Each structure stands twice: as C-alpha cells, then as structure tokens.
Amino acid sequence: MGIKVKAVERNISFEKNVEKWAYVLKPELYNKLSAAKVISEASLRSGISKGSMTAAWDAIGEVIKAWATEGHSVAIPGLGTTRFGLRSTSVDDVNKVSSDLITSRKIIFTPSVDIKSELKSTSISITCYDRNGKVVKQVLSSDDGNIDEDENNQSGDNGGTNNGNGGGSNEGGF
C-alpha cells in the first residue's frame, strides 16, 4: 500500500475578481487508529495477550513521559526517538534571562534510518480532481523519494541565532 494524495483544482488568487486556478496537493485523510486497535493488532502479531499488551502499552507511555520530561531523548521501537524541546528568544544580558524568554514548547521526533528508508520506498498515488470534483487524472509516484530533514531537529544544537542585541531566536531540545 502507498500514500494517497489528492490534487484538487482551486482558485489560488488573492485578488478580488481575479481567478488563477492551480492543482493543490493535499493528503487524503486517514482515520486515527485507536490504542485498542493497535494493541489488538500487536497482540495478534506477537502472540502476547491483549491484557499484557495493554499493560505494556500503558507502562511504555508512562516511561516515555517521565524520561522525556527529565530531558532524555527516548527511543520508540522501530520508529525513532522523541524528546521535548522549546523555542525561545535570546537576550544579551544574563540578568534578563528568565522563563519569559520561552515562546513555545514542542515535541521533537527524529525518525530512524529504517523508517526513513520505508518512507522513501513507499509509493504515492495522486488522484486529480477538477474544480467540479470530477476525477481527471491519476498519477503514480516516480520521484526519487527525497526525505525532508529538519536541520534544527537533526543537528543537536540549538539552531538559533543571536544578533547581539537580544533580538535573536533559539530553538532546540532540553
């Protein structure tokens, strides 16, 4: 199976009374799988009872939460690692350092080499719809499967800048 995408013809003009039509790609929405469904499937694939699998699922979630809040990057089996991070502004005077500099908190996920390889080799099917909703073309991917890498999440540093006057921005993990 592959990733399903739709290209929908939309008016992309921002000018009043001007039409500029283009096909805009967007993923077809998939349903969110419930924890119960994932546990059931994992139970079938592993031979571990649903009760034991549920207990393990809950325990792993609690461990990830606890360790991530302590500043650890935590492995998620077969997928990669996750950690907490933040975005903040910078100041040029140590006396101005406070938690008020934090502009947002975030969750950073770094995929494993295996999962990136899986994504790279996954086919993409595009269905094109005209402005009236009629299917006008179907395309199967022939791209080289490039994976977009977020430099801030991959480099391990703060990835921020400081222009010397306290107006910089920093982003990174704990």
Q: What is the pLDDT of residues 129-173, one digit of tens each?
A: 999 999 999 998 877 778 777 644 443 333 333 333 344 444 555
Which H or E run contains 65? Answer: helix 50-69
* Whole-number percent of the chain with pLDDT over 90: 70
pTM over 0.75: no
**Measured in Å, how far apart are the chain's first and last C-alpha atoms?**
37
Give the start-to-end residue ranges of the domains of the chain.
3-13+20-30+75-173
Task: Tell me what the pLDDT averaged over the chain comes to.
Answer: 85
